[in-house]
Every structure is written in structure tokens, then in C-alpha cells.
Amino acid sequence: MAMTTSHMPRPSFYNSQGIRFSQKPSWFRAQPRTKLNPSVNIKASAGVRKEDIVIVGAGIAGLATAVSLRRLGIGSVVLEQAASLRTGGTSLTLFKNGWRVLDAIGVADTLRGQFLEIQGMAVNSEDGRELRSFKFKDEDQTQEVRAVERRILLETLANELPPETVRFSSKLGKIQSSENGETLLQLTNGTTLLAKIVIGCDGIRSPIAKWMGFSEPKYAGYSAFRGLGVYPDGQPFAANVNYIYGRGLRAGYVPVSPTKVYWFICYNSPSSPGPKITDPALLRKQAKELVNNWPEELIRLIDLSPDETISKTPLVDRWLWPGLSPPASTGKVVLVGDAWHPMTPNLGQGACCALEDSVILTKKLANAIKSGPAAIEGALRAYGEERWPRVFPLTVRANLVGSLLQWDNQLVCSIRNNIVIPKLVRLGPVLEHTNFECEPLKA
């Protein structure tokens, strides 16, 4: 995919990638290629490319962090193991906290014009009976909810970066610290980088998180089918999130645009998520079998989904227990988004929290860079200390909500459908976690 630069005034100082700094810190500048420190066990003949900031992973977290840094005049290199942007998958729902970040980094309006604003949500039983409905702005006038295609979000972020910022086919093979406090990154293509700062945005199975001592994410006991129904002549649904709750099984669908509708099905598989399946015909068949007697519009959505949009994934998370889990940073290496705090999608906050991470980290790094190298580690620690009280409770809450919604006991489900949802649930407190203020980033 071709990437274009955004229209920004020509700066007076650039790093080696042609990215400007708001001022010229003497320690944070382009360096010529040098040989390795002899204490590092790598073939000297391979050479080393020195970089100021290396972001590992060109997903939402990685690209948003790179764009945020650029807005403050700081350059970076983004390593992506795939040969192009990973635009697979369907869509994700962004609440107002996600849109505040996209506003701050200057891409929100480009996206708003392409996706419908969701007005409310309706909760139904598997037999089609409406249990409850809400209007978002009745509870919170400032709320903004849109389902956004992942592909378009990634392309929009990438288009804000100068050419060559994202380096494809660059898979991390090994990471190690050097004696001078920098970090050595060996790629499987033979490239070796020496980075002053490394930002791990490499997703749920992050090699960087593993290197830092984090445990593997834990399977939540249920998996999800996802897809994107396409209606060439226009989709028929009102702009609402629609949920359908059964026993140990739930589904939902939400209009994305005038012609596309995102859908999901979550089903219990307590012992194991089962083997990985990539055959779209089999995935479609399995998804339809789960909801065979449910409302017809859901079955039709599955039928109208192109093969490449249908997927099945196990849902996982990682709880960041205080005093037990490693911190978000080690030296000058730090984690952002799913690499640090993978969470189940039950609150729609995975992408939103990754976006929040990106701007908080960027602001702290920008201030530290002006102060010199001694301030960097403190800034990364401060980022982790600020974000932990936000992301840990959300991870736990998302897990608990999922557990409640995946109940399969008949009596419990009856109480949920006839008492809890119709009479006890209030939307305001449910969406309180979407409150997040974020000022525009300006160099």
C-alpha cells in the first residue's frame, strides 16, 4: 500500500528518517552506522543500524504511537513482520475515549466521514424478544460510538507517516540489552538494529513482553466467530448495536457503513479453544450451526460475509496483578496496548485503551527527550504507573462481564433476561469508563 505524508510545515531539524524534532536535543540525533559493542554476541560483519525510537508492530497501537510521536516532532521506525499492513479482520467499536485520541492525533474527521454514528443499543433474547434498549446520548450527550473497519483505520494511520517509516518483512528474532543501556534487535531477515528506545506494540503474543517476563495471556473459556456482512444495495438496519443473548452463547451485530454490518458470535468452549481453522467455508458452516434457530437476520449476515472477513479466535486476557506482574517498562523498553494488557472484547475497550496508551506515552517521552537520556527511563516508568490503574480494572471488568454473559445455567439465564437486564442495568455507569480527556498533540 502506498503511504503518503500528511501536510505539515517543513521543520528545521530532521532525524535520519526525515522526521523533525521540535527542538534539537544533542543526545537524540541521527547516528552513523557503527559496529557492535564487542560485548554483544553477534557477528560483527553484519553491521548495526542505529535508531532513536523503534516501534515493534504496525497494528493499531504501533501506528497510533508513531503518529502521536510525529505530531510532537519525534521520528520513529516501525517494524512489521508481515509483508504489508495486516488488514485482515473485520471491525472494532470505538467509544468516545477512542475518538478523543483520534481527534488529538488529527485523524478522527477522516474516519468519521466513512462510518455511521451508532445511536444506541438493543438487547434481545434468542427467540427475538427485546429485553432492553438504550440511546447513548440519553445517558451521555458527549458519547460517540462508531464501528470502524480495521483495515481503513490502519491505512488512515499509516498515511500520516512519511514513506519508509514502516519497514515490512521485519520480524523480530531476538532482543537483548547492550552495555550502554540501548537495546539490540536482531531481525530474522539478518538486519540488526541498536535502538535508544524500543516500544513493544507486537500484540497479544508479544515476544517483547515474553522477554520482559510477562506470562502468556490466559484463555477466557470462550471463542468468537466474526465477520462483515456486505449489502451492495444498502444494509437494512438502524444505527444500533444489537445483542442477542442465549445460554452459553451470544451474538451481536452493528452497522459499520451504509453497505456493511459487523457481526460476532461468542460460544463456550471451556477446556480448549480447539484447533485453528482457516477454511472460510468450514468457519461459515460452524458459525451458522451455533445460531441455527436464532433470528433470520443473523443467519443472512453470515451468508453475506465475504470469505476473507470470517474468522474464529479464542478470547484471552492477562491480569496485571500488583506486585506480581512485571512493570510496563524495563530500562528503555516499554509495552503498549495488547502487548501489555490484552483484554477480552466485552467492554469494547481493547483498541480504545491502546490509543490512550499511545498518547500518554508520547507526551511523557516528548518531555523526557528534551531533558536528556537520564529522564527516559523515568518517563517510561511514569507511563506505566499512570496507565496501570486504568487498564487493570478494565481488564478484570471485561472478563467478569464476559463470564456473566456466557452463563449457560437455565435458571441464571432466566434471571438475567427477566430481571437483571430489563430492570437493573443502567447504561450510564456501564459506560463511565469511556470518559477520557485528551488535548490535541502539537509540536
Lowest mean pLDDT among 1-15, 205-219, 426-440: 1-15
Mean pLDDT computed over every residue of the chain: 89
Per-residue pLDDT band for 38 (boundaries 50, 70, 90) equals: very low
114 within domain boundaries = yes
- The pLDDT assigned to 39 comes to 37
- Contact residues for 115 (Cβ-Cβ < 8 A; gap 6+): 146, 147, 148, 149, 256, 257
Judged on CB neighbours under 10 Å (0-12, 13-18, 19+), 217 is buried
β-bridge mates for residue 227, sequence order: 263
441 within domain boundaries = no
Give the residue-averaged pLDDT of 126-133: 93
Describe the crossing of helices 350-371 and 374-405 by its angle, rounded to 10 degrees. Answer: 170
- The secondary structure of 346-413, three-state, reads HHCCHHHHHHHHHHHHHHHHHHHHHHCCHHHHHHHHHHHHHHHHHHHHHHHHHHHHHHHHCCCCHHHH
Distance, in Å, from the CA atom of 397 to the CA atom of 267, rounded to the nearest integer, reads: 19
The amino acid present at 14, given as its one-letter code, is Y
Share of the chain above pLDDT 90, in %: 82
Per-residue pLDDT band for 40 (boundaries 50, 70, 90) equals: very low
27 within domain boundaries = no
- The pLDDT assigned to 372 comes to 84
Per-residue pLDDT band for 225 (boundaries 50, 70, 90) equals: very high
Segments forming the whole domain that contains residue 72: 48-434
**Taking the C-alpha atoms of 309, 314, 319 and 320 in order, what is their torsion angle to the nearest 10 degrees?**
-50
In the block, which residue shows the cell 480495521?
A: 150
- The pLDDT assigned to 418 comes to 94
37 within domain boundaries = no
Q: How many domains does the chain have?
A: 1
Q: Are 169 and 159 in contact (CB under 8 A)?
A: no
Per-residue pLDDT band for 34 (boundaries 50, 70, 90) equals: very low
202 within domain boundaries = yes
**CATH number of the domain bearing residue 370:** 3.50.50.60
184 within domain boundaries = yes
Distance, in Å, from the CA atom of 140 to the CA atom of 387, rounded to the nearest integer, reads: 24
23 within domain boundaries = no
Give the residue-averaged pLDDT of 413-424: 93
Query: Per-residue pLDDT for 129 more than 80?
Result: yes
205 within domain boundaries = yes
CA-based nearest residue to 224, from 296, 286, 145, 149: 286
Distance, in Å, from the CA atom of 49 to the CA atom of 71, rounded to the nearest integer, reads: 25
Query: How confident is the model over 354-402, as pLDDT tens digits?
Result: 999 999 999 999 999 988 888 999 999 999 999 999 999 999 999 999 9
Distance, in Å, from the CA atom of 295 to the CA atom of 128, rounded to the nearest integer, reads: 6
What phi and psi values does residue 299 have, to the nearest 5 degrees? -60, -45
Query: Per-residue pLDDT for 200 more than 60?
Result: yes
Query: How confident is the model over 50-82, as pLDDT tens digits?
Result: 999 999 999 999 999 999 999 999 999 999 999
